Structure 1
């Protein structure tokens, strides 16, 4: 889902996504490196934000994960008819409402 140039996740409520974030928080607290990765595939997506309107629970949990040291990586890909390339620079994200 892209609004303007901002990619947002999730496009529908995701209990499973929230569960995975909670597992990452626990792993981080247990001393492991924990990373959540978002890949923007829409050509207009230039930044990332959680979709507070569609799933405030996931969005809050993503904020909690970040505050607890879970890394958030956001990248974009270039989709073409003959292949897909990962854009090497990371994309900015904003966790606020």
Structure 2
């Protein structure tokens, strides 16, 4: 084979490969769009939420925060004491 024939064959293979990829991606997009439409059609409607139903939040537990602070302080103290040696 000569150089122009190799170039022509390479371009043909490139076009064929890119064509397959384009067709595959187009089919993928179409199938995902179709599945999305089907799911939206058969999905039940969301239940209405009453306004202000979840606005009350629990106050933080003070004892738990104090305990956590003590544990963190002890860990920092231990780390610093080992690091000084």
TM-score after normalising by structure 2: 0.22
Q: Which has the larger radius of gyration?
A: 2
The structure whose RCO (Cα within 8 Å, separation 6+) is larger is 1
More strand by share: 1
More helix by share: 2
